[in-house]
Each structure stands twice: as C-alpha cells, then as structure tokens.
Chain A
Amino acid sequence: EIVMTQSPATLSVSPGERVTLSCRASQSVSSTLAWYQQKPGQAPRLLVYGAFTRATGIPARFSGSGFGTEFTLTISSLQSEDFAVYYCQQYNDWPRTFGQGTRVEIK
C-alpha cells in the first residue's frame, strides 16, 4: 500500500503567520491527493482535492500544490479558527491511505 508521510508532526505558529505543511507519498499518486482539516471532537472537513483545487466554501488562504510524490498545503495567513490537525490522503490506489497528520497549534 502507498505510505503517506507528513511533516512536521507539530507546528507552533502565531496568528497571521504563513504555514507550510508537507506530505510525501511512497510512490506516485499523480494529482489524486486531498487535504483535510479536523478540529477536536469533529469530523474532518475536505479542504483541497486534486492536489490544488479548493473544496466548496474553503477560504482562499488555503492552497495546495504538488504532483507525484511531493505535496504541500499552505495557509497564507493563519487565523484563529485554523488551529487544528491536517491530514493528507491519496485516492489513486487501493487501499486509500492517510498521512499521520500535522497538528497546527498556537505558539
């Protein structure tokens, strides 16, 4: 199965800062890569799919990039509501697999 590796595990940032999260696939997944946000006690929310397409209603400060095995989620100016755990997921092959998550916490 395709192993997804996210880095870093935790990011401590201040509101207003720019944040870059990384996701690496153990083999190419083309552009079939999604990013999700999960807050405590909630179900995840789709942020980005197709590596760079924002889901409906997602603010423009979230942007995705990458292709193949290297992907990035960037939050241009972190807002208070953005403190959460972020997961990448590939949907190119079975089984679908997730990264272990990056926690974005308040510095």
Chain B
Amino acid sequence: QVQLVQSGAEVKKPGASVKISCEASGYSFTTYSMNWVRQAPGQGFEWMGIIDPSDANTTYAQKFQGRLIMARDTSTRTVSMELSGLTSDDTAVYYCARAGLGYCSGSNCYTPLGYWGQGSLVTVSS
C-alpha cells in the first residue's frame, strides 16, 4: 500500500531554514508527482508546490518563489522541501501529498492529492 513517511517536528528561529523529508513506498516512485501543502494552526490548507520525481521538474506557488526548494532522491525514494527565511507565519504542519488519479493534456497534468503523509510540525519562535 502507498505510504508516505515524513521527518519529525522541528523548532526553528526566525530567519532560519527548515528541511522536511518524505519517504515514499508502495508504488512506482517516479510515476506520480509529489505536492507539498501546509496548514497553519486552526486554519485551512495552503498549497506550496509540486515536484515530478521523474525529472525533478518543479512548480512553486508564487508566494514561495525564492525561498522554497523541492528536491528528490530516486535512490532513497525521498522527496524533500526546504523553506528559508522563516517567520512566525510559517508555523504550520507541513504535508507531502502524492498525486492521485487524474489526467494529462499536453505538458499539463491535473491530479488531486491522493495520498498524504502524516505531517511535520514546524514551529518558528524566537
């Protein structure tokens, strides 16, 4: 079965960076894109970006451009997300979420978030 296991909770100071990993199992790693989504305490969801593990191609939400880096390691079946320039507004639970069933039209693919990791709490505090 599909499993996404994320790294543990982190506490960071303002201005620091955080890197979260997501290890995938139970499916062909390079076949499905991986999204990153976050949820601030008591709030809804914010989509951050997506990476295609087959070629490492990424699309980031404009809000995070310049301080977000997504990467993948096919040998360990792991994707990672690094967010820099942290502020208290970045305090949230961060989720990796594998693409579900959808379709592609040309170079664009349209997929829901089919499987989610357990979440990683990042707390930014001085």
Contacts and interface: CB of A to CB of B under 8 A. Distances in A.
Contacts, number: 58
A43 B119 contact: yes
Interface in B58-79: 59, 61-63
B32 interface: no
B110 A32 contact: yes
A34 interface: yes
Interface stretch (B9-17, B82-90, B94-102): B94-102
A94 B45 CA distance: 15
11 contacts: A32-B102, A34-B112, A43-B95, A43-B116, A89-B47, A91-B102, A91-B112, A96-B47, A98-B46, A98-B47, A100-B44
B95 A96 contact: no
B47 A34 contact: no
Nearest to A31: B110
A87 B95 CA distance: 15
Contacts of B114: 46, 49, 55
B45 A87 contact: yes
Interface size class on chain B is 20 to 34
A58 B59 CA distance: 30
B44 A95 contact: no
B18 interface: no
Main secondary structure of the interface of A (DSSP, over half): loop
Interface in B110-126: 110-119
Contact of B112 (A49, A97, A101): A49
Interface in A54-107: 55, 87, 89, 91-92, 94-101
A15 interface: no
Most buried by A among B59, B101, B112, B118: B112
Nearest to A47: B112
B110 A44 contact: no
A88 to B, nearest CB: 10
Interface string A30-55: 00101010000001111001100101
Most buried by B among A32, A96, A99: A96
Contacts of A99: 44
Given A55-B100, A99-B44, A101-B44, A94 B59 contact: yes
